[in-house]
Amino acid sequence: MGVLKYPQKKEIKGPWLISYEKLEELAQIVESIEEKLERSWIEQLRIEIHNKYEELTEEEFSNKLEQTKSDPWYNRHESTCQLIGFDETRLIDKSMSNLLIDGAINSLKPKAINISISYGRLSENKFELNVSNLYEGELKYEVECFEPKAKDEIQYQIERWIDKQKPSRVLQFWSEYGGIPIYFLWLPIIILSINITTTSYKSYDEILKEKSNEIIDQGIDSTNINQAVELLIKMQSDFEPDNFEKIEKPKDPNDIKYLVLVIFITIVSQIRPKTVVGIGKRKRLLEFYKFWIKFVLVTLPTAMIIAPFWKFIVGWIY
């Protein structure tokens, strides 16, 4: 049977959209991880005692193990779970579950999660997890265990939780590189805006050319030969009557379409999803990002694909 080995340290790019329910799942996993770290630490003590005191009876061995476990030199256990706010306010507890039921969480605007658990005098058995509010490298974890089985079990648990929350490659690309188009879109926005807002008029010469084209399309015959000659003379002499009233040129409808498209791309580039710990005062932001991601990546592309076939679909239904 194959053995799946995870790296001891791992860093995964965001954005991570972490809801209260996902943090509850993480809290249960953290409790299980702490139990496994303790088991690994005890196994470490058992081996050290066995190597040092080979002649102990079973009862003496058990007594020595309990004595060692209570020795402050060996029994160095630390467990810290933190929610860090944007104003550097920190909500700290030994248990992640206790943090989530703390009433103070409602007034917190969290930007990061830090979890650190260790057993042993030199932290030979430890687990650390950090989620930060940055555009890349936003989730990191590290596992060290004396007992290989405990380490594999811990990494399996945390990897399963990560796989459920892990953002897609499209979302990662959007979050990391989505801001680049902004630098190239300002010029098209300016040009299209000028085209739409600026009023331009047809010259008398342009009107003559339009009439000439109409005659050419109809074909020159005895009914319009005089009109054709008159138009030719006027165009050749740059004639313009004194009472000529300028006619406004119609706007190009494509300019508006392109401007809307470019503005939308600019908004998408500007409002990029990033890691959100969606509890306390960040709940609404998490809900917005979920809506925005669905709109940009699902709803809008679907509408664009269906649009060319909409008339056919409606006609087929009715």
Q: How far is CA 152 from the centre of its chain?
A: 29
What count of Cα atoms within 13 Å lies in the side-chain half-sphere of residue 300?
11
Which token pair is 234? 């006027």
- Looking at 1-15, 123-137, 178-192, which range is the least confident one? 1-15
pLDDT of res. 293:
92
Tell me which residue of 25, 145, 124, 148 sits closest to 76, measured CA to CA.
Answer: 124
Q: How far is CA 190 from the centre of its chain?
A: 29
More confident residue, 222 or 135: 222
More confident residue, 316 or 187: 187
Q: What share of the chain has pLDDT > 90, as a percent?
A: 34
Q: How confident is the model at residue 143 (pLDDT cuts 50, 70, 90)?
A: very high
Which token pair is 123? 């932290």
More confident residue, 16 or 228: 16
Q: How far is CA 102 from the centre of its chain?
A: 28
pLDDT of res. 155:
94
DSSP 296: I
pLDDT digits (tens, 9 = 90+) for 94-127: 999 999 999 899 999 999 999 999 988 776 799 9
Query: Averaging pLDDT over each range in 50-59, 70-79, 93-102, 189-198, which range is the top one?
Result: 93-102
The full length of the chain comes to 318
Tell me how crowded residue 176 is: count the other CB atoms within 10 A of its CB.
16
The structural domains of the chain, with segments of one domain joined by +, span 9-166, 201-248
pLDDT of res. 80:
93
Which token pair is 50? 């066995």
Q: What average pLDDT does range 253-276 have in this prediction?
A: 86
pTM as predicted: 0.75
pLDDT > 50? residue 1: no
pLDDT > 60? residue 5: no
pLDDT digits (tens, 9 = 90+) for 10-47: 888 889 999 999 999 999 999 999 999 999 988 888 88
> Contacts from 256-265 at CB under 8 Å and sequence distance 24+?
256/196, 258/188, 258/192, 259/189, 259/192, 259/193, 259/196, 262/185, 262/188, 262/189, 262/192, 263/189, 265/181, 265/185
| DSSP-H helix ranges across the chain | 20-52, 58-69, 96-100, 148-165, 169-177, 182-197, 204-218, 225-236, 253-270, 283-294, 300-306, 310-317
pLDDT of res. 202:
66
Three-state DSSP class for 236? helix
- Distance in angstroms (rounded) separating the CA atoms of residues 14 and 167: 6
Q: What average pLDDT does range 52-80 have in this prediction?
A: 82
